[in-house]
Structure 1
Amino acid sequence: MSPETVRGTRGEDRDQYTREESRAIRRRSLRLLGSILAPLKRLIWLTGIVIVVSTAMRAIGPTLIAFGIDEALPRAVDQGDWGPAILIGLAFVVSGGIGAAFVGWYIVLIARLTQAVMMELRTRIFRHTQRLSLEFHEGYTSGRIIARQTSDLESIQELLDGSLNELIDAILIGSFTLLMLFLIDWRSGLLLLGMGIPLVLLMRWFVRESQKGFRATRVVSARLIVQFVETMTGIRAVQAFRREPRGREVFGRVADDYRRANLRVFRLFGVLDPGLILLANVTIAGVLLWGALRVSDGTLAIGVLLASVLYVRNFFGPIEEVAMFLNSYQSATAALEKVSGVLEEDPTVQDPERARRLPEARGELEFDGVSFAYATGRTVLADCALTIPAGQTVALVGTTGAGKSTLAKLVARFYDPTAGRVLLDGVDLRQLDPEDLRRAIVMVTQEAYLFSGTVAENIALGKPDATLAEIRAAAEAVGAHGFIEALPDGYDTDVNKRGGRVSAGQRQLVSFARAFLADPRVLILDEATASLDLPSERLVQDALQRLLADRTAIIIAHRLSTVAIADRVLVMEHGRVVEDGSPAALIAAGGRYAALNAGWEASQA
């Protein structure tokens, strides 16, 4: 695999990479950053000019002090000429005022730049993860997606908000300081340059080790979020099976891993900070000693020595800020790697380049030599050849893992076949316009997910411009109107998070109303009655008859009472259709479906 193709954050949730992988990931992250910053060039240039001016104004302070001590002060004392001293004082105040004003302007500009970058990143992640195929979401935990959108972006924002400011300030102050030091006393400048060798070695060691450390903290941080989100999402199962002690144990281990990963990083700072202080003190002592010797023999003015010491101190002061920047930088770099990995994921189900329109679908489905295998390599469907005429209701039955849901997902184009074609009215789904496809085919699953909002808004999900009369008619058609009217605010009742105000059966009825209102030509019910109790199931049978009328329907159900309304039954085993016929004909044939039906009738006795 080429390094440029390194992608897929599911495989990047680790802290060790080959050198080529690391380079490819860095290039990928830089591409992302470059694409975000490109539209902000004017703001970046303005911000750069402002910080240069503010830094220059602050950097000339020690030189003004040196000139004041060595030139203006003697003239004022010896000759009574206070003009130069006053001018130096005014220049010092003006330069400081200009520097302060430009610093304030810079803070506002960097805030605008930061928020623009964060806004773009947030929206890109959201848009892109919505586009990604079902395969990605089934293999990538919700906790990791949340980590990309929360803790990872917070690390990047922390870098842009404060640490980047400190770095730019440190670089410019260091550069101007070194330049001014060479202008007033090049010998002290050479001494400072000489101390740059151990400084570079120290910083290089820190960058290398902290990169490993911060990458490890991002990985463990994501695991921590995943563990918390999964536990809270499945809290009913946790409490039902008394898994709280086990949850505490697992979460405790992950939290301890996170603690130890952070401690490893802080130990690095335990070496860096004392090292910087030592180098600064040694350099200042060297400048003072050498300068004192030259002052004593008259080759160096005392004001210049004072300015040299101030410049050396100013040079090493921002180095501490560079260390803090490296702290945020390594964390943000690791976060950007994860974010860029998500954004580099390609949908496995791609929209066609030249889409074929099908504005009025009839609903005929055809499987032309269809085979399908998941990314793991396991074949789920094998050479499926099948035609479903428009308007026919087909039930899929079989043991768990027989391939029923996979066949339905291919019809909904959540996946594409590994081989063969799935056609709607003779058009390959891979060539069909996505809008026409989503309008023509709708799937209702066992998990009837309701979004925060009113009941009416949830029913209108597939037809946002529907009137209240249309929404009520759809609810009445599937038998949901009665319980909705009994809610506190009727159709305006807020269902709360994930539909917490209504029962599982009621959520399913709302999803039926949603599908009825969308009016697709092909309707897929994947275990859609599994959440209904027997009274609710009997109530919805008539609704299902109306829901399925005049449209092609695929029903996946273990309850054979639901299967009984089908025109045709397909019995599947190991990815193949082994029986095909009407319910009555298959029962009379005495095959697998007959055995399933007999077992179901016995369970109802």
Structure 2
Amino acid sequence: MHDYEDVDMKKGYDKQLLRRLFSYARPYLGLIIISLVLLIGVVGAELAKPVLVGNAVDDIITKYDTMYSTVSKDTKGAVKIKDNYYIGDEKNKYPSAEKARIIYDETYDNPYFLVSGIDSAQINKLDKVKKVILKDGKYFIEYDNIEKEVTLLTNNEIKLLRQDHINGLLRITIIFIVVLIFGLLISYFQTILLNYTGQKIIYNIRNDVFTHIQGLSIKFFNNNPVGKLVTRVTNDTETLNEMYTSVIVNSVKSVLMLSGISIMMFILEWRLTLAIFLVIPLLIIATLLFRHHSRKAYREVRTKVAAINTFLSEHISGMRIVQIFSQEKRKMDEFSEANEELKKANLKQLIVFGIYRPSMYFIYVIGLSIVLIFGGNMVLEGTMSIGTLIIFIQYISNFFDPIQQLAEQFNILQSAMASSEKIFTLLDEDSKIENNENAVKLDKLKGEIEFRNVWFAYNDEEWVLKDVSFKVSPGETVAFVGATGAGKTSILNLISRYYDIQKGDILIDGHNVKDIDLNNLRSSVGQMLQDVFLFTGNVNSNVRLRNDEITDKQIKEASKYVNADKFIQKLPDKYSEKVYERGATFSSGQRQLLSFARTLAFDPSILILDEATANIDTETELLIQDALYKLMQGRTTLVVAHRLSTVQHADKIIVLHKGRVREIGNHQELLARKGIYHNLYELQYQEVN
């Protein structure tokens, strides 16, 4: 596997990676399409709001100078405006006439004046009248060298006059609120739907990664730190989740917004739009520079974060050693140095963003200035309305946000692609031990084991076992002894097929281990190691290991049989007592007794003991020896122990030296040979004395 920091960021856009990412999204393609359709609705609502505001300005608010020629008189001669709304408190307030007209002069606080007593021929002539003259407290207009008195309308009469405009403004306001609520609701459902889809996709990816990890060989775990694998299942998949639920949809939304705004601006006024697009080269240059420098800054931050996490993981796990050797100050200094490096990296990233965002705002101000200068002139020239200018001002504000978001989302997308490469690299790891096509399942193993000329190496041809041959009969207890590195533990690992051999054959009950179903094989072999691993949970769950076929009654019977029940009954919650990570609250002996109970509950045919009684106090060792004696009854047992006193009663002792079988026999036979076993025994006997 590649190291997390060694992934080539440029490879993040590999087509194969995209295809594999899409394969996880394919089952939810319908939901994704619905989400994108909803997104179009969200963008449509965003684009509609400025248009509604512009229309309100053009069609209603700026119609203050409308010349109302619909003014007429009723049958009684009273002047009225539309339907039954009359000017004046009394119907006969104003003189009757064939026609009446409203004149607007903005120089007055109340700018509306009524012209009455005119005929049809005079109506059109009044269109050119824009000025009302005040003389001796009265108001007059002049046209065709005629001076005619006009009547100033009151505020109530003006309100009545513009009632249609007020109603129209109310309608547009209601439409605006409806569009706003519609956009919010669509955005809500789209967000919920997309996040639901993203979580389903990540759930499947996370399951696939963990399932794959469970099937990998022991060799893989020996060569890869646990922290890195945890990062793959958690951090890297979460980065992909952000890509599926945030980056992709926001990027699509940004592209739709940019396209929609550009199209709308071209439709409204293409000349002004072309003038605004003069800032596009500045946008491209700023964005490319930001991408380049932000990528470097982001990678540096990620490297420093990884370094500080590695430091914390290592030293928190080894805090006991740090305290024993009084290294707190030194380690604190080392941590402060790593922390300072992370701070500097974060500051560099902040500087990049701190320059980019004001730069984008400066370009936005330039674009806004272009709108105000060119658009303002067009309004003054009468070639563009004020409402259109307002729409452009709102659109130009919304135009720069998507560009900034696209640039900032680039790093997240880049990180997600790098994470996907790491995840798929892990999924492509082929160091799995697979079942053969015609693997057989055996109901109950007898426990006969035979090695025939077995050669095995962990790396290439650095042989750990060389031409090893021996046979173990059902129910027999066989011990493996020898110096460190002789190959004892390797033999035990090969029996359960945690590794595959390069040469020779390993037979169990006459079947090659490669032809036996892997789960069937391993469930028939109970392994008890020196370092017992307990999971977070309780005593029951650590014996059962989520096998629901094992009842609470069977757990208690197994615990009593191996002497574990004695200390369990003294616990406050007995079998429900909480177990913390690695069983930190239990002694080594207690953990070992729990492992015996676990093994007995699963009822294996073959027992493997690898230094199972090492580092145990004398009293607990007696309990363990008694438990072992009970466990070994009727089972084939393979034992590895450095203390030869613990294997003296074995039916057969196999002596290994530098990967080869040197001697086979029982304790007395091997001592009589005066060979390697005799020398090891004498050496330990001298050390004891």
Same-fold status (TM-score > 0.5)? yes
**Residue 14 (1) aligns with residue 5 (2):** yes
- Residue 184 of structure 1 and its aligned partner are, at CA, apart by 0.3
Match of 1:494 in 2: 578
Q: Give the drift of 1:602.
A: 2.6
Q: Select the residue among 39, 42, 45 that pairs with 1:51.
A: 39
2:25 aligned residue (37, 52, 62): 37
Change (3 A) 1:151 1:252: farther
Change (3 A) 1:336 1:227: farther
Contact 2:215 2:433 in 1 (8 A): no
Pick closer, same or farther for the CA change 1:383–1:138 going to 2, 3 Å: same
Deviations 1:476-527 (A, max 9, x none): 3333332233333333333333223321011112112222232212211111
1:51-70 to 2 correspondences below 5 Å: 51-70=39-58
Calculate the aligned-residue CA RMSD, in Å.
2.8
Which of structures 1 and 2 has the larger relative contact order (alpha carbons within 8 angstroms, sep 6+)? 1
Cα deviation 1:379-400 (Å, max 9, x = unaligned): 3222323332322222111111
Q: Offset at 1:262?
A: 3.0
Q: What aligned pairs does 1:181-330 form with structure 2 within 5 A after superposition?
A: 181-330=265-414
1:463–1:518 CA contact under 8 A, matched in 2: no
Residues 70 and 423 of structure 1: CA distance in aligned 2, closer, same or farther (over 3 Å): same
Aligned residue number for residue 82 of structure 2: none
CA contact (8 A) 1:524 1:555 kept: yes
Pick one of 631, 646, 657 that aligns with 1:547.
Answer: 631
Local SS of the residue matching 2:455? strand
**Identical pairs, percent:** 33
* TM-superposed deviation, 1:159: 5.0
Report if aligned partners of 2:653, 2:666 keep a CA contact under 8 Å in 1: yes
- Structure 2 CA distance for aligned equivalents of residues 335 and 252 of structure 1: 28
CA contact (8 A) 1:412 1:442 kept: no
Which one has a larger percent strand, Structure 1 or Structure 2? 2
- CA shift, 1:99, in A, is 1.8
The higher radius of gyration belongs to 2
Do the aligned partners of residues 334 and 568 (structure 1) sit closer, same or farther apart at CA in structure 2, a change above 3 Å counting? same
Q: 1:77: how far off?
A: 4.0
TM-aligned CA deviation for residue 450 of structure 1:
1.6
Q: Deviations over 1:401-425 (max 9, x none)?
A: 2221122111121111133332222
Q: Tell me if the contact between 1:363 and 1:389 (Cα under 8 Å) persists in the aligned partners.
A: yes
Counterpart secondary structure, 2:213: helix
Q: Distance in 2 between matches of 1:394 and 1:533?
A: 24
Structure 1 runs not aligned, ≥5 long: 1-7
Tell me by how many angstroms 1:596 deviates. 1.0
Offset at 1:313? 1.7
CA distance in 2, matches of 1:201, 1:383: 68
Deviations 1:418-477 (A, max 9, x none): 333322223222221122112222211111112223323323338542334433332333
Instruction: Return the letter of the residue paired with 2:47.
Output: A
- Check if 1:572 corresponds to 2:560: no
What is the letter of the counterpart of residue 467 of structure 1?
A: T
Structure 1 residues 264 and 353, CA, compared in 2 at 3 Å: closer, same or farther?
A: farther
Alpha-carbon shift at residue 557 of structure 1 (Å): 0.8
Where 1:14 maps in the other structure, the secondary structure is: helix
Q: Name the counterpart of 2:507.
A: 423
User: What amino acid does structure 1 have at the position aligned with 2:29?
Assistant: K
Q: Which residue matches 2:79?
A: none
1:99 aligns with 2:191: no
Aligned residue number for residue 4 of structure 1: none
3-state secondary structure, aligned to 1:532 = coil
Three-state SS of the structure 2 residue aligned to 1:338 is helix
Gaps of 5+ in 2: 69-161
Q: State the shift of 1:377 in Å.
A: 6.1
CA contact (8 A) 1:147 1:225 kept: no
Q: Return the offset for 1:553.
A: 1.7
Q: 1:126 aligned to 2:210?
A: yes
How far the C-alpha of 1:376 sits from its partner, in A, is: 7.2
The normalised TM-score by structure 2 is 0.79
* 1:434 and 2:434 correspond: no
Cα deviation, residue 185, structure 1? 1.0
Q: Confirm or deny: 8 A CA contact 2:479 2:638 kept in the other structure.
A: yes
Partner of 2:456: 372
Q: Which amino acid aligns with 2:38?
A: V
Shift of 1:321: 2.9
Find the partner of 2:527 among 437, 440, 443. Answer: 443
* Aligned residue type for 2:438: R
Residues of 1 paired with 2:286 and 2:460: CA distance? 46
Whole-angstrom CA distance in 1 between matches of 2:518 and 2:533: 22
The structure that is helix-richer by fraction is 1
SS in structure 2 of the partner of residue 60 of structure 1: helix
User: Secondary structure of the equivalent of 1:594?
Assistant: helix
Equivalents in 1 of 2:221, 2:184: separation in Å? Answer: 50
1:572 alignment partner, SS class: strand
2: CA distance, partners of 1:411 / 1:212: 50
**Cα distance in structure 2, aligned partners of 1:497 and 1:447:** 13
Specify whether residues 478 and 101 from structure 1 end up closer, same or farther in structure 2 by C-alpha distance, changes over 3 A only.
Answer: closer
Using the alignment, how far apart are the partners of 1:173 and 1:590 within structure 2? 89
Change over 3 Å in CA distance of 1:403–1:286 after alignment to 2: same
